[in-house]
Amino acid sequence: MEEIELEKKDYGKDFENEVKIFLEEKLKFSDVKGGQDFHIAPNGEKNQIDACGRYKDILFVFECKAAGRKVKKNLRQDILATKERARMVLEGYKTIPEYSQCKFVKFIFITKKIEIPESEKELFKETHFWYADENLLEYYSELYEKIGEYAVFNFLADYGIRPPENEQLNVAALKTKIGKYVTYSFYANPKELLKFSYVARRRSQKEDFYQRMLDKNRIRKIQQFLDNGGIFPTNVIISLKEGDKNFVKISGLESKNHSEVGTLTIKNSYSACWIIDGQHRLYSFSRAHSENLIPLLDTLEEFSRRIINSGTIDHLSLNCVKPGFIFLVESNAVLLLQHRFITTGNAIYTGILEVYKAWEPKVDKTSPDERARRFINKISTNS
């Protein structure tokens, strides 16, 4: 009897509605449509759309497949059919008044409780479609609960959407050379920086999994601290991608102590800013009323990439990056473990562990906001 009921229920339709609610309530997309009677196709053709929605001038189109319980299923014919379905959308979407001004279209083939073979996932490389499963809805719904409206920028980054040219952040910055490395120190409005910031998460080669590094309760507590007039005197440490930033020196100012004053521009990517240390402090502004500026230090692509992506490591005694490095090694421990058979004996891998073992005992592991609180107390008591 239970199996008969499972067959009768239209799980596909329920999933389509779930996707539409997600687009409207979590990503705040406009003109969300889809369903049995909604089509996007050239005149005279039919092409039913399960779910779609618009973010500014970008149209997202979803094809939804669902089952009542976890099953392995062959969807080869459905995947191959997406080529023709995409063609009809691309030729017909401007006939829909709400989408007529869209300049880009993104297609996502999403499943729920359906496991498809890896060989079929490879077929998507020959189509216009991205593949996702129900974890996409779960992850971004949870992210929305933590950082609100800024979750959509992480979603856009994941699907290769770049900000328009006029959407950028310009700040006054101090550029400093430390040995052969370059850092930028600057203050920024955190709510403006959040558009370009990406929440840390990891993916293995065999399966996607998310490390939910943001703690909702901790964000709420820091938000209350901010709304009660709290400030952060200590730096948030970030890494900015090389192609997503530009520094212009202010002419007429002399360079002293290997430093230059100028304008730093962050642009081109909704994931331009990778937060190494201070993620909770920065994202607490997503729901706070505070408009205070926050101090940041960019460790620059070269040094951060060498740590994050297992590049060549040298034993630099830079106190400002030690906590961030220890945090990165510990948060990526699973990834290092997965690759231990490949990297055992590798100079890069052993270098990371050697630096970690040398620095870890010397790092203050109290939370950044606690360190800031201690610093403020020292100032107020003149101790």
d(Cα 189, Cα 193) in Å, to the nearest integer?
Answer: 6
What backbone phi and psi angles, to 5 degrees, belong to 207? -155, 150
Q: Which residues contact 210 (CB under 8 A, 6 or more apart)?
A: 135, 139, 201, 202
Per-residue model confidence (pLDDT) at position 365? 57
d(Cα 19, Cα 25) in Å, to the nearest integer?
Answer: 10
Per-residue model confidence (pLDDT) at position 301? 41
Per-run averaged pLDDT (10 residues), the chain, 383 residues? 51 95 97 96 95 97 94 92 95 96 96 93 89 94 92 93 92 81 85 86 40 74 85 78 86 68 91 83 84 65 46 42 54 46 47 63 58 52 51
Question: Would you give the distance in Å from CA 33 to the centre of its chain?
Answer: 26
Domain 2-133 has CATH 3.40.50.2300: no
Residue ranges of alpha helices (H) inside the chain are 2-8, 11-25, 76-92, 118-121, 135-147, 151-158, 190-193, 216-227, 279-283, 300-308, 322-331, 333-338, 340-343, 347-359, 368-381
d(Cα 283, Cα 143) in Å, to the nearest integer?
Answer: 11
Our CA angle for 97, 101, 107, nearest 5°, is 90
Per-residue model confidence (pLDDT) at position 315? 39
Spans of all domains in the chain: 2-133, 169-381
Per-residue model confidence (pLDDT) at position 310? 40
Token output for 77: 């014919």
Local structure of residue 170 (DSSP, 8 states): E
Per-residue model confidence (pLDDT) at position 343? 42
Q: Other C-beta atoms within 10 Å of 314: how many?
A: 10
The pTM (predicted TM-score) of the whole model is: 0.72
